[in-house]
Structure 1
Amino acid sequence: MKNVVKYLRRSKDFDMTQEELGKKIGVSKATISAIENGGNPSAKIMLKIAEVFNKDPREIFFLDDVI
């Protein structure tokens, strides 16, 4: 699943490490890395990430075939 988690995490508005994001949502750095590399997070994790970035999950996560 494609996503813009890494872009948002590293943006000037948030500027956080994978570990910091993981701590905010209660997962490991490795989980954040897997998500950023195309892993499929659970709906619960997607919602938590969306909440951190104050965005709709559909703005962050999308299917590979969506343009």
Structure 2
Amino acid sequence: MEIQELHDDELMAQAREWRLRALRGEKEARGMAHELEREVRRRFGNPKTDEQHSLKEIRALAQLR
């Protein structure tokens, strides 16, 4: 499977499927889940990091008042 050639929806579905397989204990699934998730972060960013930046901006605005 060429991860970079997957459409966005298919990438997200594959990432979820492989992560579930890894969580169920399939040892071989962990590496594929990681690769797919890395491509998701490359395309869409890291939601946890984006959230942290948003919170810092909110605090900065609150300090201006």
TM-score bucket of the superposed structures, by smaller chain: under 0.3
Structure number with the higher helix fraction is: 2
Structure number with the higher strand fraction is: 1
Whose Rg is larger?
2
